[in-house]
């Protein structure tokens, strides 16, 4: 198995901040807007270096989306920044009508996504945002796994024409990807080859999937790990190539299993490769206040849950194979 080294825990939102700062220095068309959360989104440095290209709109997220759409119409490349809950649920109508419908070149950058927002609790911990955004026609949806990948994604979406939802988080997590790797929208990453089970993970659950694969290897189970950083468009080829080899799959995400990555994968499997799948994610629930680690453990968003799901899907794989050969 390939070994991944944690280069030191870092928050993914800081990757966004560094990427935005670099864009500000290299592209004068880039502008940034924030809804009273400049420090939380790590947009301070961009604002200090580019005061004429930074717009603090205050606690007025819907207005921010409208302004961003207008700036895009004028040829600018606007990056909006606020918490994921306020970047999607609070402003869904504005995004749908003013940005997605007219295919505006707006980059909606959302921090503090998922349960790992932590102590602010359920009202701020949106677990439905991927589902909301992937259903919008023409919206590209990206969910990065660590600091390096978030910075790389921030740089790349600037070159992409069209609306993008970039999702990242608050806590310091393992930083294990190569800082020099170029981010490719819509292209999953094969992290580890395996023959027995496919694990498709996104965001903070990618590192947990790597740890689960190490544990499965101790049981003699060879897990293939795929990092799906782009939820939409989904890299169907990398998933199908893997599951046609392994015969079963586990999806893992810090999101509601209703509407997230897992459902996109399930749609793919039912239409092109009907193999058994297990889901790791929150199950039709809101969050609650607590530390990120406490909440990840309580809601089963960790290495152990992925490990258990792999064993469960392997049992179903055996039954499925028996049925297949019986009817064949």
In angstroms, the CA 27 to CA 206 distance is 31
Model confidence at 318, pLDDT cuts 50, 70, 90, reads: confident
**Portion of the chain with pLDDT greater than 70, in percent:** 97
Share of the chain above pLDDT 90, in %: 95
Residue 30 has pLDDT above 60, yes or no: yes
Which of 18, 29, 49, 61 is the catalytic position? 61
Q: Under DSSP, is residue 218 helix (H, G, I), strand (E, B) or coil? A: helix
Helices (H), the chain: 12-26, 44-49, 61-73, 84-87, 92-94, 129-134, 147-159, 205-218, 236-246, 261-272, 292-298, 303-327
pLDDT digits (tens, 9 = 90+) for 243-267: 999 999 999 999 999 999 999 999 9
How far is residue 157's CA from residue 182's CA, in Å, rounded to a whole number? 12
Where does the chain hold its CATH 3.40.50.970 domain(s)?
A: 10-173
Q: Please, where in the chain does CATH 3.40.50.920 lie?
A: 189-327
pTM, two decimal places: 0.95
Across the range 233-243, mean pLDDT stands at 98
Known active-site residue 61: yes
Q: Count Cβ atoms below 10 Å from residue 32 Cβ, excluding itself.
A: 26
Assess if CATH 3.40.50.920 describes domain 189-327. yes
Does residue 323 register a pLDDT over 90? no
pLDDT tens by residue, 160-179: 999 999 999 999 999 999 99
Q: How far apart are CA 289 and CA 200, in angstroms?
A: 28
Architecture of domain 10-173: 3-Layer(aba) Sandwich (3.40)
- What is the overall mean pLDDT for the chain? 96
């Amino acid at each position: 198995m390939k070994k991944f080294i944690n280069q030191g825990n870092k928050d993914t939102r800081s990757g966004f901040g560094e990427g935005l700062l670099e864009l500000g220095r290299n592209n004068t068309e880039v502008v940034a807007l924030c809804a009273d959360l400049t420090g939380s989104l790590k947009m301070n440095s961009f604002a200090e270096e580019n005061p004429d290209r930074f717009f603090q709109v205050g606690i007025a997220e819907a207005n921010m989306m409208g302004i961003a759409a207008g700036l895009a119409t004028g040829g600018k490349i606007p990056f909006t920044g606020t918490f994921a809950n306020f970047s999607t649920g609070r402003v869904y109508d504005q995004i749908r009508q003013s940005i997605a419908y007219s295919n505006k070149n707006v980059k909606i950058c959302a921090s503090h996504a998922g349960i790992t927002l932590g102590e602010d609790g359920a009202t701020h911990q949106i677990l439905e945002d991927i589902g909301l955004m992937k259903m919008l026609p023409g919206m590209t949806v990206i969910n990065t796994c660590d600091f390096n990948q978030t910075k790389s994604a921030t740089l790349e979406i600037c070159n992409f024409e069209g609306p993008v939802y970039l999702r990242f988080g608050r806590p310091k997590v393992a930083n294990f990807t190569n800082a020099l790797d170029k981010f490719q929208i819509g292209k999953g990453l094969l992290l580890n080859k395996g023959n027995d089970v496919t694990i498709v993970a996104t965001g903070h659950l990618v590192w947990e999937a790597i740890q689960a694969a190490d544990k499965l290897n101790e049981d003699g189970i060879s897990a293939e790990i795929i990092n799906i950083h782009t939820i939409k468009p989904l890299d169907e080829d990398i998933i199908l190539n893997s599951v046609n080899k392994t015969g079963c799959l586990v999806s893992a995400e810090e999101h509601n299993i209703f509407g997230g990555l897992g459902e996109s994968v399930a749609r793919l499997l039912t239409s092109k490769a009907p193999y058994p799948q297990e889901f790791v994610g929150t199950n039709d629930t809101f969050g609650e206040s607590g530390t990120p680690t406490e909440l990840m453990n309580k809601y089963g968003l960790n290495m152990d849950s992925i490990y258990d799901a792999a064993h469960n899907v392997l049992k179903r794989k055996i039954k499925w194979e028996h049925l297949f050969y019986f009817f064949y």
